[in-house]
Amino acid sequence: MDLSSELIHSLLPVFLVGTLGISVLTLGFIEGMAEATALIVKVFSGAISDAIGRRKVLLLLGYGLAALTKPLFPLAHAAEQVFVARLLDRIGKGIRGAPRDALVADIAPPDIRGACFGLRQSMDTVGAFLGPILAILLMSWLHDDIAMVLWFAVIPALLSVAFLGVGVREPPHDTSRRVFRSPIRLSSLNRFSRAYWWVMAIGTAFTLARFSEAFLVLRAQQLGFRITWIPLVMVVMAGCYMVSAYPAGKWSDRVGRTALLIAGLVLLVMADVVLARATAAPMVMVGVALWGLHMGFSQGILAAMVAETTPSDLKGTAFGLFNFASGVALLLASVIAGWLWQSHGAALAFYCSALLGTAALLLLLIRHASRS
């Protein structure tokens, strides 16, 4: 599914701004709303998976909806149609996201939980690495016909649903005493520890400092990338993310999570500064690589921290709430970045992200010092 999605996402910013003529601010709103929707929907899907004691049925619903939206992108002739397709696609992602992470938490041995989530992030990113490569090849073959290239995203999306239906098994859950209840209950929230709420705060700060990767694609185009090679930005980012997520997760099992998160924020601030000061393609690619390493040093580790600070019967709810907060932060970050880019230039948008990343780093260092 990531191969399918990233084939689309590596070209979508250029399609929207270059072909359909929308503003960068509107792009920021579309991207922020889309990604925030995915993260917000997770709060309900995760809690529902806890309530019914089943993960796979929600995974099938989420992956199936995302697969059905893929033909809408090449058929779109206006920004509003792309916006609807993007929202539906991300709703599908939201439905499957928290139950999938909860399923990993269900079966991951505690002593290698960081490695398990790191491996999941790395494998998840394989598709994000291959999708833009496929986009480059197809753009060359089809002479930069973006709409035609987007049709090829339908095939891997349908295959992912078939693989899920046939190949994935979930552990048995005791459902004999379960009754229907509201997905989110105050009594459930009261069972979460202070450590979980700290993870929530740190994760939100991370996301607020990191806007949509669509702006990385636009930065590359702004500095002279040919449209055929624009997806190379996502290839480099996903490649760095892919090769770092599993080692970082495994390392965090031995040396602790906080040190790796601090490294992740330092990498994000460095990426922002490089991208703000970039004047040519090589500097853009350095910044994109640092951005990908930041993702590898943070996303799987944050997921492992959520898993180890929450009760076993509320993993889905915990991941859902975590992603809800991240969704709100991502929407704000992307809209602010779009406004800054349009009003004051790309450099200021990246410098603002670096400033927010520095603030998140201080929060993390204060937390680390208080526990030492």
pLDDT tens digits, 273-326: 999 999 888 899 999 999 999 988 888 888 888 888 888 777 777 887 887 888
Looking at the domain assignment, is residue 115 inside a domain?
yes
Return the SS3 of 315.
Answer: helix
Tell me whether residue 179 is in a domain: no
Residue 174 lies in a domain: no
Q: Do 339 and 43 meet the contact criterion of CB atoms below 8 Å apart?
A: no
Residue 71 maps to a domain:
yes
Q: Is residue 176 part of a domain?
A: no
Cα(86)–Cα(161) distance, integer angstroms: 19
Instruction: Give the integer Cα–Cα distance in Å for 47 and 275.
Output: 38
- Dist. CA 18–CA 12, nearest whole Å: 10
- 372 pLDDT tier (thresholds 50, 70, 90): low
**Total structural domains within the chain:** 1
Read off the CATH number of the domain in which 207 is found: 1.20.1250.20
**Apex CA 73: angle with CA 70 and CA 78, to 5°?**
155
Reading the block at residue 349, the tokens are: 């948008």
pTM score of the predicted model: 0.71
Could you tell me if 198 and 367 are in contact, meaning their C-beta atoms sit under 8 angstroms apart?
A: yes
Residue 181 has pLDDT above 70, yes or no: no
Quick check: is 184 in a domain?
Answer: no
Look over the chain and give the mean of its residue pLDDT values, rounded to a whole number. Answer: 82
Structural domain range at position 224: 2-167+190-371
pLDDT digits (tens, 9 = 90+) for 223-264: 888 878 888 888 888 889 888 888 888 888 887 788 888 888
